[in-house]
Amino acid sequence: MVWLFIAMYQLVYYSEQKDLVDRQRYDIVALGKAITNAESGQRGYLLTGHTLFLDTLEQGRTETRQVLVRLDKQTSDQPEVRIGLDRIKQLVHQKFDVMDKTIQVQLHAGDFSPHLSLNKDKGREVMKLIDDQLDEIDSKLQRLREGFEQEIRKRMFASVIGAILLGVLIIGVLLFSYRSTTELLEQVLENQAVAKQASHQADHDLLTGLPNRRSVDVHLANTYQLARHTSKQFAILFMDLDGFKQVNDKYGHGVGDALLIEVADMFKKVLRQSDFLARQGGDEFVLVVGSYLYRQELTQLAERLIKLFSQPVMTRGIPLEIGVSIGIAEYPHHGKHVKQLLHVADKAMYDSKKSGKNRYSFGSE
DSSP secondary structure string, 43-102? HHHHHH--THHHHHHHHHHHHHHHHHHHHHHHTTT-HHHHHHHHHHHHHHHHHHHHHHHH
- The answer, yes or no, to whether residue 235 has pLDDT greater than 90, is yes
Q: Does the pTM exceed 0.95?
A: no
pLDDT given for residue 173 in this prediction: 64
Q: Give ranges for CATH 1.20.120.1730 in the chain.
A: 2-203
Residue type, 23: R
Residue 133: φ, ψ to 5°: -65, -40
Q: Give ranges for CATH 3.30.70.270 in the chain.
A: 213-362
pLDDT given for residue 121 in this prediction: 58
Which residues are known catalytic residues?
A: 283
Cβ density class 33-42: b for 16+ within 10 Å, e for less: bbbbbbbbbb
Cα(12)–Cα(10) distance, integer angstroms: 5
Which of 18-27, 100-109, 265-274 shows the lowest per-residue confidence on average (mean pLDDT)?
A: 100-109
Beta-carbon contacts of residue 280 (< 8 Å; ≥ 6 apart): 213, 216, 238, 286
Give the mean pLDDT of 13-19: 80
Cα(175)–Cα(198) distance, integer angstroms: 35
- The answer, yes or no, to whether residue 112 has pLDDT greater than 50, is no
pLDDT given for residue 341 in this prediction: 95
- pLDDT grade, residue 193 (50/70/90)? low
pLDDT given for residue 116 in this prediction: 47
- Does 1.10.10.10 match the CATH number of domain 2-203? no
- The answer, yes or no, to whether residue 332 has pLDDT greater than 80, is yes
- The answer, yes or no, to whether residue 251 has pLDDT greater than 70, is yes
Instruction: Name the residue with higher pLDDT: 129 or 195.
Output: 129
- How crowded is the C-beta side of 162, counted as CA atoms within 13 Å? 19
- pLDDT grade, residue 2 (50/70/90)? low
pLDDT given for residue 250 in this prediction: 95
- Does 3.30.70.270 match the CATH number of domain 213-362? yes
pLDDT given for residue 118 in this prediction: 44
